[in-house]
Amino acid sequence: MKCARHQHAFTLVELLVVITIFVLLLAIAVPSFSSLIYSSERAQAENQLVAGLNQARSAALTSESTGDTAAVFFFDTNGRLRILTCVDVGDIPDEDTGGNPLTRDVFIPVASYPAVQLPRGWAVRGFAPVGSVDTGSQSGWYDRASGSNREFVSTTGNWVFPETAYYDPTKGDVGFNRQTFMVRFQGGTGVQRSEVTTPSVVLDFSPATLFRSNAPWSEYRFDSTDRPEVLVRRAISRGSTDPNFRDTKLAKLLGDRASDTVLTRCVTELALYDEIELAGAIGARGVNKATGSLYGGAKPSTVPVVPRIDTSLFGTAFDAAKVPQLINDWILGVGEQTKPSDVRLYTVDRYSGQAREVLP
């Protein structure tokens, strides 16, 4: 005699209860998991920032020459910030935006030190003291190029962004659109040098090749060798013995206008933050998809050829003069309308070279 088998299936009510519980657990777990990932990336960004500064200072302490070293900040079109350890290899004659002659130090990346890269979405801004950005000072540092809508506050300091990727790479003489900041250390001692106020240039050669078929770029193909520092040293050395080359060609190769260089200046205060969080705090609808930042071309999701804020992120609320003040207030946590931030502020100790976190 066969026993009857009783098969039990879920009722609709039971299935709905299970689904409801699952949804509730998911609603609890997802924010916690997202918060965990965010905290992990923030900790990684903090560690990488400190590592980049320590690496540059270590290079100064162990330098066989007397040249200063620096941690130089770059933001690439892929939305990632990198810190390069660079060394001062000499100086060249150049001129400011008013045509006045001056001498600039030339820095090049140290090949034996790898680039330090922050997690995607995390960025660093440097504090530019009042009067240092070019709103009339003729320093050329963070001047406003034709076609740019980026402004700064002239009566206070500004938290500046590494504008290293926003230029036309097909041309050899539009480097004045490229600027950033650095933390500089004295060669041999590792002492942080904040007293140097004249902007320097750092080699970060353009990926373009079209303009390199013409002189003087055809003579010094920084892009065609794995040791561009050799060519830089050779050009500087030639400038000391060849007056014609020094006066007519050297600045085109390595001066402020050269597309292969970025204008940079010493800072002592840094702000580490989430670019998307900053965008939301100042009223933007996220960041430009092409650049991973507030910068963008005239069309949505494009890379600009001059340092230009993507106005499509703000709609009709964009106010060029108000944006820098909102950024300053948000980073420092001041102002009644300022949203709470997760910014980490650092100052670099002069003698130890260590980045010390400070409260805003």
Q: What is the pLDDT of residues 133-159, one digit of tens each?
A: 987 777 889 998 888 999 999 888 999
Would the pLDDT of 2 be above 60? no
- Average pLDDT over the chain reads 89
Say yes or no to pLDDT of 5 above 60. no
Residue 220 to residues 23, 121, 233, 252, 336, Cα–Cα distance (Å):
63, 35, 11, 11, 54
DSSP for 302-321 reads ---SS--B-GGGTGGG--TT
Least-confidence region, from 5-14, 47-56, 158-167: 5-14
| Phi and psi at residue 214, to the nearest 5° | -105, 155
Q: DSSP alpha helices (H): ranges in 62-172?
A: none
Alpha carbon of 31 to those of 38, 121, 277, 280, 351: distances in Å? 10, 19, 16, 19, 42
Confidence at residue 154, expressed as pLDDT on a 0 to 100 scale: 85
Helix (H) or strand (E) holding 61: helix 12-61
Q: Whole-angstrom Cα distance, residue 270 to residue 355?
A: 9
**Partners of 34 in the beta sheet?**
none
What's the pLDDT at 17? 76
Q: What is the mean pLDDT of residues 92-120?
A: 93
Range with the largest mean pLDDT of 29-43, 87-101, 329-343: 87-101
In the predicted model, what is the mean pLDDT of residues 313-321? 89
pLDDT given at position 360: 62
267-281, 322-336, 342-356: which is most confident: 267-281
CA 358 to chain centroid, in Å, comes to 21
Six-digit token string for 263: 């204008």
pTM: 0.89
**pLDDT band of 9, cuts 50, 70, 90:** low
CA 133 to chain centre: 16
Number of Cα atoms under 13 Å in the Cβ half of residue 123: 29
Containing 34, the helix (H) or strand (E) segment is: helix 12-61
CA 208 to chain centre: 21
Segment 161-220, tens digit of pLDDT? 999 999 998 888 888 999 999 999 999 999 999 999 999 999 999 988 889 999 999 999
> What percentage of the chain reaches a pLDDT higher than 70?
92
- Non-local (6+) Cβ contacts of 164 within 8 A are 74, 75, 76, 178, 179, 180, 204, 262
Q: Rounded to 5 degrees, what are φ and ψ at 102?
A: -155, 170
Sorting pLDDT into bands at 50, 70 and 90, what band is 104? very high
Per-residue confidence (pLDDT) for residue 33, from 0 to 100? 56
In which residue are the tokens 């100064």 written?
Answer: 60
Average pLDDT, integer, range 254-273? 96
Instruction: Look up tokens 């770059």; give the residue.
Output: 74
Residues 335-344 have a mean pLDDT of 76
Residue type, 45: A
Peptide bond into 216 cis (omega under 30): yes
103 phi, psi to nearest 5 deg? -110, 130
pLDDT at 289: 93
